[in-house]
C-alpha cells in the first residue's frame, strides 16, 4: 500500500505536467474549467471570429465532437486585458 507522501508526490507531478504542457484543445467542459467561459459565449466568440473551433469525427457516433483551440482562447483573453485602460 502506498503512503500519503507517495500519493502527494504523484499528484504534484501531475499538476506540474499540466502547467508545463497546457492542453492544446479542449471540450466545452474543459474550457469552462480552465477559463470559466460557458458554451454559449464560446459559440458567439467563434461566430465573431475571435477564437477557433474544430469538429472531429467520432467513430460510431452520429454527431462530431467540438474541440476548442485553447491557444486562441488564451490569446483572446490576453488581447482583452491589453485593451483595458490603465
Is 53 among the domain residues?
Answer: yes
Is 60 among the domain residues?
Answer: yes
Is 1 among the domain residues?
Answer: no
Is 54 among the domain residues?
Answer: yes
Domain that holds residue 53: 23-79
Is 13 among the domain residues?
Answer: no
Residue 10: the pLDDT is 73
Is pLDDT of 85 > 80?
no
- The predicted-structure confidence for 40-74, as pLDDT tens digits, reads as follows 999 999 999 999 999 999 999 899 999 999 999 99
- The predicted-structure confidence for 6-30, as pLDDT tens digits, reads as follows 777 777 666 655 555 678 899 999 9
Is 44 among the domain residues?
Answer: yes
pTM above 0.75, yes or no: no
Q: Number of folded domains in the chain? A: 1
Which residue spans within the chain are E strands per DSSP? 25-26, 53-57, 64-69
Is 32 among the domain residues?
Answer: yes
The region that residue 58 occupies, defined by phi over 0 for left and psi between -120 and 50 for alpha, beta otherwise, is: beta
Amino acid at each position: 500500500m502506498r503512503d500519503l507522501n507517495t500519493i502527494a508526490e504523484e499528484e504534484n507531478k501531475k499538476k506540474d505536467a499540466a502547467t508545463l504542457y497546457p492542453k492544446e484543445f479542449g471540450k466545452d467542459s474543459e474550457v469552462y474549467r480552465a477559463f470559466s467561459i460557458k458554451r454559449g459565449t464560446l459559440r458567439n466568440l467563434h461566430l465573431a471570429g475571435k477564437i477557433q473551433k474544430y469538429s472531429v469525427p467520432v467513430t460510431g457516433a452520429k454527431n462530431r465532437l467540438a474541440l476548442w483551440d485553447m491557444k486562441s482562447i488564451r490569446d483572446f483573453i490576453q488581447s482583452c486585458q491589453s485593451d483595458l485602460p490603465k
